[in-house]
Amino acid sequence: MSLLFSTTKLGQLALENRIVIAPMCQYSAEDGKATAWHRIHLGQLALSGAGLLIIEATAVEDIGRITPGDLGLWDDATEAALQEVLQDIRRYATLPIGIQLGHAGRKASCTAPWEGGEQMSPEKGGWQTVAPSALAFSQDEHPPTALNKEALDQLKQAFVESAKRAVRLGLQLIEVHAAHGYLLHQFLSPLSNQREDEYGGSLENRMRFPLEVFQAIRDAVPASVPAGVRISATDWIEGGWDNAQSIAFSKKLAAAGCAYIHVSSGGLAPQQKISVGPGYQLPYARDIRKEVDIPVIGVGLITEPKQAEQALQEQDADLIALARAMLYDPRWPWHAAAELGAEAKAPPQYLRSEPHGLKGTLISNK
């Protein structure tokens, strides 16, 4: 039996296999509202046979967007636009769909990657960014405004309101984005958080606001909706956030009712020196998994079915998340099932697509 295609649960949410489609920013929204692109993009991924689809990083307020094209869920208009997309997808897809909620902090107000990804000035359509401390992401960027306590309370409530909107939309899982150098990660790392109040300094203080945000979301949504957290296990910078601190943070999250930890890395500052290779982030996931009693999702240059299966067999992670590999091959789970001797779900319209010799690999999602 393939572990990759075995059933599992995140909180109370049952999954038919352990393949997770990770959140992937598309920078294709209009004023935060989902568009036809999201219907096409999410629609094809929802028919992939994966166990779970997590919608891209979705801003909880307009200034929390990485780019003007970021998806949002901060008002009735953004909620209604996403509802239209989800209604179409759910007519044909049966897999659970979740959403990642986040705030870019000092990494907001940038152009899309294919336009250079540089910070935009207000004169060019940008906006003033915010962060734990008035420290810019890079030397040539305008410094963010340090968040005061009133602003922190408002921001925490913004996360809660977006989570409530997600529940109204029928989304079945919420992931809190505390990775890749965005706002909650900025609070965690001593390189970006140089506050002198109860939200800065010691590890306990730097963890405080991200934990408060998570707890507020957990308290606001039904127990049937699992809430997890994506973290960057390390900044890849000496003196920054590292996996020992990630383990401490993960333990706190588990105690607060976190359903899973999704382990990525990097993104905090340009000085990072990342050693990239197949499965390069799995050792961090494995170390965290040894210390917590909740599922751990592994991700990072996992591209081959046997590689994903091996990671599960060797207990590096409990689930495997795919991002770029899914964009390149939206039928990755079908092909993995064929290679590993398992079954994957497909819409009945596509069942006849199986190559000769692989009949029975695909089963109907109806």
Residues 188-205: pLDDT tens digits?
A: 999 999 999 999 999 999
Backbone angles phi, psi at 221, to 5 degrees: -115, 155
Q: What is the CA radius of gyration of the chain?
A: 20
Q: Hey, which residues does 174 pair with through a beta bridge? A: 99, 227
pLDDT of residue 366: 87
Token pair belonging to 146: 């340090």
The pTM for the full model equals 0.97
pLDDT of residue 105: 98
pLDDT of residue 150: 98
Mean pLDDT across the stretch 100-104? 98
Q: What percent of the chain has pLDDT over 90?
A: 95
CA distance 366 to 361: 15
- CB count in 10 Å sphere of residue 75: 16
Q: CA-CA distances (angstroms) from residue 211 to 74, 104, 206? A: 21, 17, 9
Nearest to 188 by CA among 146, 245, 230: 245
Q: What is the pLDDT of residues 315-348, one digit of tens each?
A: 999 999 999 999 999 999 999 999 999 999 999 9
Among all chains, which residue has been given the structure tokens 């964009």?
327
Q: In which band, very low, low, confident or very high, does the pLDDT at 276 lie, cut at 50, 70 and 90?
A: very high
Token pair belonging to 92: 């044909």
Token pair belonging to 313: 């067999």
CATH class of the domain whose range is 8-364: alpha beta
Q: What is the pLDDT of residues 1-36, one digit of tens each?
A: 899 999 999 999 999 999 999 999 999 999 999 999
Q: In which band, very low, low, confident or very high, does the pLDDT at 225 lie, cut at 50, 70 and 90?
A: very high
CA distance 327 to 23: 11
Q: CA-CA distances (angstroms) from residue 362 to 47, 116, 189, 254, 343? A: 12, 41, 45, 36, 6
CA distance 200 to 116: 32
CA distance 262 to 292: 12
Domain map of the chain by residue range?
Answer: 8-364
Mean pLDDT across the stretch 155-169? 98
Token pair belonging to 118: 């540089």
pLDDT greater than 90 at residue 287: yes
pLDDT of residue 242: 98
Q: In which band, very low, low, confident or very high, does the pLDDT at 359 lie, cut at 50, 70 and 90?
A: confident
Start-to-end CA span in the chain (Å): 23
What CA dihedral angle connects 142, 143, 148 and 151, to 10 degrees? 30
Cβ 178 vs Cβ 210: under 8 Å: yes
CA distance 225 to 203: 29
CA distance 302 to 326: 10
Token pair belonging to 242: 């590292």
CA distance 202 to 246: 14
Q: In which band, very low, low, confident or very high, does the pLDDT at 356 lie, cut at 50, 70 and 90?
A: confident
Mean pLDDT across the stretch 101-106? 98
CA distance 17 to 267: 29
Mean pLDDT across the stretch 163-183? 98
Mean pLDDT across the stretch 75-101? 98
Question: Strand, coil or helix: what is 359?
Answer: coil
Q: CA-CA distances (angstroms) from residue 296 to 59, 185, 241? A: 24, 18, 19
Cβ 258 vs Cβ 217: under 8 Å: no
* Neighbouring residues of 204: CB distance < 8 A, sequence distance ≥ 6: none
pLDDT greater than 90 at residue 245: yes
Our answer to whether residue 92 is catalytic in this structure is no
What would the DSSP string read from start to end of 130-198?
EESSS--SSTTSPPPEEP-HHHHHHHHHHHHHHHHHHHHTT--EEEEEE-TTSHHHHHH-TTT---SST
The one catalytic residue among 27, 92, 182, 199:
182
